[in-house]
A and B are shown apart, each in its own frame.
Chain A
Amino acid sequence: METTTSFDLNRAIQQWRENLAQSPAFRSENLNELESHLRDSIATWQTRGLCAEEAFMIAANRIGKGGALELEFGKVNGTAVWIDRLFWMLIGYQVWSFVSGAIGLVTGNALLLGLHGVGYDFKSHGHAILVALFTLVHLAGFAGSLALCWWLFNQKGQRFSLWLGRLLHRRATWVLTFVTLYLLSLSVPLMTGGTLALLIKAVGQETLGEIILPQSYSSIIMHLTTPIVFIGLTLFLARKRHRACQA
Chain B
Amino acid sequence: MLSKELVAASTVPLVLSVLTQGESYGYELIQRVRELSGNRIEWTEGMLYPVLHWMEEEDLIESEWREAETGRKRKYYRLRKEGRKALQDEQQQWLTVHETLTKLWKPQPRLT
B interface residue numbers (CB < 8 A to A)? 25-27, 44-47, 49-50, 53-54, 57, 65, 70, 72-75
Contacts and interface: CB of A to CB of B under 8 A. Distances in A.
Nearest 8 A/B pairs, CB to CB? A64-B46, A63-B46, A40-B27, A72-B50, A64-B44, A69-B46, A76-B53, A76-B50
Contacts of B50: 72-73, 75-76
Contacts, number: 51
B49 A33 contact: yes
B46 to A, nearest CB: 4
Interface string A211-237: 000000000000000000000000000
A68 B47 contact: yes
A41 interface: yes
A62 interface: yes
**Main secondary structure on B side of the interface with A:** helix
Nearest to B49: A33
A76 B50 CA distance: 6
A76 B46 contact: no
Given A73-B49, A73-B50, A75-B50, A33 B26 contact: yes
30 contacts: A30-B49, A32-B65, A33-B26, A33-B49, A33-B75, A34-B46, A36-B25, A36-B26, A36-B27, A36-B73, A36-B74, A37-B26, A37-B46, A37-B49, A40-B27, A41-B27, A43-B70, A63-B44, A64-B44, A64-B46, A64-B47, A68-B44, A69-B46, A72-B46, A72-B47, A72-B50, A73-B50, A76-B50, A76-B53, A76-B57
